[in-house]
Structure 1
Amino acid sequence: MADVIEERAGTPVLVCDPGGPPIATEQDALDLIGATYLGADVVAVPASRLDRRFFSLGTRFAGEVMQKFANYRVRLVVVGDISALVAASPALAALVRESNTAGHVWFVPDLDALDDRLRHAA
């Protein structure tokens, strides 16, 4: 399956293929943002596609990627179970908690949870 734009809870979402290429550079993030110009407001990226540096906050990669999405006013949603990573890193736990309350970047366990968030965000 390729990355596809789907209507989810009334919102056009670019749902990224779990088997797609890794997001390992800022350019990779910009490429996803560019793909939203076909009509998506949200990018749902499987956690497995994000380079491990994204979850190691000392690398600043997460901040760089998240800032790109914020600058272009595209919501980023990380989809997948990252509970083991969150449990191992108080800093990541704080980032996930703050992101999920602030609204521009969300961390959700699956696409059903994304649908619930989108319904309640409207």
Structure 2
Amino acid sequence: MADRLQRVNGTAVLICAPDGAKLSGERDALDIIGEAGYQGADWVAIPVSRFDDDFFRLRTRIAGEIIQKFANYRLGVAVVGDISRHTAAGSALRDFVREANQGTQVWFVSTLEDLYDRLGGGRRAGSGPGVD
């Protein structure tokens, strides 16, 4: 499965394939940001499976570095999937997720459907030229 662009309520979202390269640092984030820019995306949805486990250990600062790159390029980023095994390990990540989900730049969602709801479009709202 390849990355694909979808429009949700007028927002272009790059949906990353679950089997792509792991994100373990800034360089990996820049690869996705470059693809998002090329595709014209406003948001990027990245499955949990694409993140190195160190992303979820806040003391490594990898999450901060990756998220900051998306913010620098004014791209929203959604981490999509079940992160309960990571949040069960301590309160710092739970607090971070709760705070992120109150903002407008970074969201942790269980499913793509949850992301679509947050973007105000419910199910995939349609497609346009070059959009699956």
Scaled by the length of structure 2, the TM-score of the pair is: 0.87
Corresponding residue of 2:94: 93
Identity rate of aligned residues, in percent? 53
Unmatched tracts of structure 1, length 5 or more: none
What is the alpha-carbon distance in structure 1 between the residues aligned to residue 80 and residue 58 of structure 2? 18
Counterparts in 2 of 1:10-89, with a 5 A limit?
10-37=10-37, 38-89=39-90
Q: Which whole-Å CA distance do the structure 2 matches of 1:9 and 1:46 have between them?
A: 21
Deviation, 1:9, is 3.3
Instruction: Answer whether contact 2:25 2:65 (CA < 8 A) is retained.
Output: no
**Cα offset for 1:52?**
0.7
**Which stretches in structure 2 are left out of the alignment for 5+ residues?**
122-132
Provide the residue aligned with 2:115 in structure 1. Answer: 114
Amino acid at match of 1:83: S
Question: Which piece of structure 1 moves more, 7-16 or 38-47?
Answer: 7-16
Match of 1:6 in 2: 6
SS in 1 for 2:2: coil
Larger Rg: 2
Aligned-CA RMSD value: 1.1
* Larger RCO (alpha carbons 8 Å, 6+ apart): 2
Residue 13 of structure 1 aligns to a residue in which SS? strand
Q: Distance in 2 between matches of 1:89 and 1:28?
A: 26
Residue identity in the other structure for 1:13: V
2-side partners of 1:8 and 1:117: how far apart? 10
Higher helix content, 1 or 2:
1
Distance in structure 2 (CA, Å) of the matches to 1:36 and 1:69: 10
Determine the C-alpha separation between the residues in 2 that align with 1:10 and 1:61.
31
How many residue pairs end up in the alignment?
A: 120
Q: Following TM superposition, by how much is the alpha carbon of 1:8 offset from its aligned partner in structure 2, in angstroms? A: 2.4
Q: Counterparts of 2:75 and 2:55 in 1: how far apart (Å)?
A: 18
Instruction: State the 1:67 CA deviation.
Output: 0.6
> Residues 97 and 107 of structure 2 are in contact (CA less than 8 Å); yes or no, is this contact kept in structure 1?
yes
